[in-house]
Amino acid sequence: MKKEIFNSMEQTLENGIQLISIKKDTRIFSFHVGIRIGAMYENIEEKGICHFIEHMLFQGTKKRNNHQINQALEERAGSYNAYTDYVSTVFSITALAEELESSVELLSDLITNPTFPEKEMEKERRVILTEIKTNLDDVEQYSYQKVNEIAFTHSPLRYDVIGTEDTIRRFTKNQLEAFYHTHYIPNRCIISVVSPYDHDTLRILVEKYFGNWRKKEGAPQQIVVEKNRPVEKKSYKSNIEQNTLIYLYTFYGLTRKEELALEILNYKLGESANSILFKALREEKGLSYDIYSELDATEGIKTLYIYTAVGEEDIWEAKKIIEDCIAKIKGREIHLDKQNITHMKKVMKTAVASILEDSEGLGHYVLHQKITGKKIDAFVEDMEELDHIQMDDIYWVAEKVLANPTVHILMGRKKKL
C-alpha cells in the first residue's frame, strides 16, 4: 500500500474475515461490514431472500429485540445504513470515534446472532411488498425493470434485488434461517474500518466481537453471465404523463484498459452535464428534461444504460436522435480526443480526492473494491493506464459495445372516452 495515499493494512482473521483498517486523522470512525452474498447468487425460488434477510437482521437477536436494536442505533448519534445489491449485503455505522467499540458490538450482534422472530417477519413481509409496489409506481424504476426482463432469459439481472411478490409471499422462517446459516459466514465477510485508531487495536476489537463467528464451508457461488438480447419492445402503463426510452448494452470480456476507454466514452456520451446526449436532446431540441447514461463494471454485471423520458409526441424523434448520436460516434463524426482523456483523469482525481477526504466514503469504497476482488488502491493504476489510452481506443470500444442493444419503450395507455 502506498503510504502517501492512505495508511492502511489488510489482515485475515482466523475465522476467515478479511479486515481492512485505515488510520486517518479524524474524530469519527466509519465501520462497514460486507458479506459476499446478494441477488446474483439466488436461484429462481429465492429471488429477494438476501434483501429479506437484510431486513430481518434488524428485527431481533439473542440479546436484543427490534426496539432495543433501534434504540442502540439511535444512541450512536451518527449515521447507519444497510443495503443489498446483486453481489453483496452491507451494514455500516459512522459516528464519533468514542462510539466505535459499542458500534462494533452492535453490528456483530445483528449479523451473527439473528433470531428471525416470526411476528416481525410478517411485518417486514408487508413492508417489502409495499416496496415492490412503490417501485412499480416509479416510472424510471419500472422502465429499468422492464428492459432487464426482456434483455435476459437466465441472468439474475432479469430480477429486481427486492424479489417478486410471489417469492416474498412464500418465504418461511425456516427458509430464511437455512439460507442465512449457509451463506452468511465469516469467510465471506469483509470489514473495513476508517478511524484514528492503529491497526493492531482494530484487529483486537474486531476479533473480540466477531471472533466467535465460526468459519464453515458455504455452498459454491456461481454467477450466470448472459449477454443482453438484441430486441426492441414496447409496453404500456396507465396514468403516466411521460414516455420513457431505455437502451441496455452488456460488455463482458473487455480488458481494464478497454473498460477505462468505455468510462471516458460513457462520461462524454451521457454521464456529464455537458454530454453529447444532453446537448442533442435537451439543449438543441428541448425534448427531454432527463437524459443520461450509466455504466456498471462490476464483475458479472457489466451493463451500460441510456435513459430518457419525453412526451408521447417526441418519443420517436428522441429515439432517432440517440441512435444518430451513437452512429456519429462510431463513424468518428463526433470528435473524441486527448482533451477528453485529460478531462476524465481530472474527474477521476477529483472523485478520489473526495473519497479520501470522507471517512464514510473511503470505508465504503475500499469495502466494495475488496468485495469485487479488486485492489483497494486500484485507482492509482487506473490513472496511470489513462495515460496510455488514445482516441482510437475510445472509438474502438464504442464500435464494440454500442451495438445490438436491448431497447424498451414505455408509453402511456390511452384513456377510454
Predicted confidence (pLDDT) at residue 415 exceeds the cutoff of 80: no
- CATH number of the domain encompassing residue 317: 3.30.830.10
Residue 123 domain-assigned?
yes
Predicted confidence (pLDDT) at residue 197 exceeds the cutoff of 90: yes
**One domain, residues 264 and 185:** no
**One domain, residues 268 and 176:** no
CA angle 58, 127, 69 (to 5 degrees): 20
Predicted confidence (pLDDT) at residue 326 exceeds the cutoff of 50: yes
Question: At which of 146, 176, 210 does a domain end?
Answer: 210
Residue 225 domain-assigned?
no
In this structure, what C-alpha cell is assigned to residue 242? 411521460
- Least confident piece of the model among 147-161, 311-325, 326-340: 326-340
Mean pLDDT of the chain: 93
pTM for this model (two decimals): 0.92
What SS3 state is found at 99?
helix
Residue 177 domain-assigned?
yes
**One domain, residues 243 and 193:** no
Per-residue pLDDT, 239 = 83
Q: Which range marks the domain in which residue 164 is found?
A: 7-210
CA dist 142 → 243, 244, 266, 284 (Å): 12, 10, 23, 28
CA dist 73 → 64, 70, 114, 184, 403 (Å): 12, 5, 16, 22, 48
Q: Which residues of 308-330 are buried (b: 16+ CB within 10 A; e: fewer)?
A: bbbeeebbeebbebbeebbeebb
CA dist 415 → 59, 136, 170, 241, 244 (Å): 44, 19, 35, 12, 18
**One domain, residues 180 and 50:** yes
Per-residue pLDDT, 345 = 80
Per-residue pLDDT, 340 = 79
Residue 342 domain-assigned?
yes
Question: At which of 210, 241, 272 does a domain end?
Answer: 210
What is the pLDDT confidence band of residue 380, given thresholds at 50, 70 and 90?
A: confident
The distance from CA 9 to its chain's CA centroid, rounded to whole angstroms, is 25
**One domain, residues 35 and 105:** yes
Residue 218 domain-assigned?
no
Q: Can you state the angle between helices 100-112 and 66-75, rounded to 10 degrees? A: 160
Distance CA 343, CA 258 (A): 17
Owner of C-alpha cell 436532446: 281
**One domain, residues 181 and 276:** no
Percent of the chain with pLDDT over 90: 80
**One domain, residues 47 and 137:** yes
Predicted confidence (pLDDT) at residue 317 exceeds the cutoff of 80: yes
**One domain, residues 247 and 354:** yes
- Sign of the CA dihedral 300, 306, 308, 313? negative
Per-residue pLDDT, 3 = 47
Count structural domains, the chain.
2
Cβ pair 290, 278 in contact under 8 A: no
Predicted confidence (pLDDT) at residue 377 exceeds the cutoff of 60: yes
**One domain, residues 40 and 137:** yes
Residue 217 domain-assigned?
no
**One domain, residues 285 and 160:** no
Other CB atoms closer than 10 Å to residue 158's CB: what's the count?
17
Residue 226 domain-assigned?
no
**One domain, residues 120 and 170:** yes
**One domain, residues 186 and 256:** no
Per-residue pLDDT reduced to its tens digit, 166-187: 999 999 999 999 999 999 999 9
Cβ pair 201, 21 in contact under 8 A: no
Residue 227 domain-assigned?
no
